[in-house]
Amino acid sequence: TWGAWSVLGPVVAEQELGGAAAWGAINAALGVGALLGALGAIRQLPRRPVLAAALTGFTQVPALALLALGAPAPAIALGALAFGAGMMFGNAVWESALQRHVRPDALSRDGALHASSSDSRHQTGPIRRPFSPGSAPETPIGGPEARR
């Protein structure tokens, strides 16, 4: 989806929205949304952070749909605001959940697995057994000695 946004978005903006200025305004809205999402992640810790991070992927749908439908730039910018907020909130919540629930010496392996998959936070395993402060898994990632 990021590829569609960053590759097709400028083409659509050039052909249908008036060019670079429209695309710049749309991406500025995405940036404002990202800032708001990061601030939200600082202020709010979801009870089920991995599930919350996975669900934020849906915030990209309005922006991409509006872009595909040829909506006016202000409408796409509003969608981009939601896209940015969800993207940054989800990323911050996901990364903080990793720091809390993965043994420090296992973090690099987890990071490698995350980087080598298309988007590992959308795997079904963490959703079936989400991490939250009150319900850590029976055996923490990295083995029993990871429990603090």
| 17 close to 23: Cβ distance less than 8 angstroms | yes
Q: Which residues in 3-41 are b (16+ Cβ under 10 Å) and which e?
A: eebeeebbebbeeebeeeebbebbbebbeebbebbbeeb
Give residue 126's pLDDT: 46
| 83 close to 29: Cβ distance less than 8 angstroms | no
**CA nearest to 109, candidates 60, 117, 47:** 117
Average pLDDT over residues 15-22: 92
User: For the chain, what is the mean pLDDT?
Assistant: 79
Among the residue ranges 20-24, 94-98, 139-143, the one predicted with the least confidence is 139-143
**pTM of this prediction?**
0.71
